[in-house]
Amino acid sequence: MNQIKPLSEYQPVIIRLEDVEKIYGSGNTTVHALDKVNLVIHQGEYCSIMGASGSGKSTVMNIIGCLDRPTAGRYYLDKVDVSGLSDEELASIRNRKIGFVFQQFHLLPQMSALENVMLPMVYAGIELSERRDRAREALIKVGLENRLNNKPNQLSGGQQQRVAIARAIVNRPLLLLADEPTGALDSKTTGEVLNIFGELHNSGITVIMVTHEPEVARQTERIIWFRDGQVIYPHLTPQEMLEVAVIS
């Protein structure tokens, strides 16, 4: 009998982690945050990363996002081995290929929504008029066309997170990474943010999100489960995840 593969597995591999380890500290304060992690993610996948607090979820996201390097092992991003690159090289890859969304938004308080979203394009060397047009377009995409000139403290939590999403997608990344993006939001706003992620996934962006909430993870297609720095379930369906969440 032919084994039917998920459609995503016919797409190119965008992330490949091989025996990735991350060790923090030294001597008797050593923490083995990642312990031989192997993981393959294809272009266009929509994944959640779940697992108990301290299991290594943020650590692996920081490595996938080129914010940090593995202590040992290899990381291939879009077929390039990025495990040994310099800080400058990692920063350049990050700027071109990756968008980030965090639980605490991390918007600059003195800047308007539009200016916050224009910022990543400054580093990418795009000229002012195009920066403004593209930032406006990204904010329209997340439903904030009426809030372009508001500063973060004049926006609700959900609106601030949508500004952060617009900022993350404005350089048209291959990969959108979100570490507990709905952790500070109520359930209605969580739904709005997930709708945007769903649309981005439908437009072809690879989306990877860390979450503690089964209701959030079940909106994605694949759940990767961590325990003690290891991937114990690399490929759960939403239904299987609900069963694992009950016993974990």
In the complex, which residues of this chain contact ligand ATP (CB under 6 A)?
24-25, 31, 33, 51, 53-59
Q: How far apart are CA 162 and CA 184, in angstroms?
A: 13
24 binds, among ligand ATP, Mg ion, none (CB under 5 to 8 A by kind): ligand ATP
Count the residues in the chain: 248
Q: How far apart are CA 5 and CA 225, in angstroms?
A: 20
Residue with structure tokens 């797409």?
A: 11
Residue 177 Cβ vs ligand ATP, minimum distance, rounded to whole Å = 13
Q: Which of 17, 45, 48, 58 is the binder for Mg ion (CB under 5 A)?
A: 58
Residue 26 Cβ vs ligand ATP, minimum distance, rounded to whole Å = 10
User: What is the end-to-end Cα distance of the chain in Å, rounded?
Assistant: 34
Residue 59 within binding range of Mg ion, rule CB under 5 A: no
Residue 70 Cβ vs ligand ATP, minimum distance, rounded to whole Å = 13
Q: How far is CA 66 from CA 21, 45, 99, 217, in A?
A: 14, 19, 11, 23
Write each residue from 125 to 154 as x if it is in contact with Mg ion (CB under 5 A), else as -, in one continuous string.
------------------------------
Laid out side by side, the sheet with 13-24 consists of 31-42, 13-24, 72-77, 80-81
Residue 56 Cβ vs Mg ion, minimum distance, rounded to whole Å = 9
Q: Which is nearer to ligand ATP, 63 or 166 (by Cβ)?
A: 63
Chain residues binding Mg ion by CB under 5 A are 58
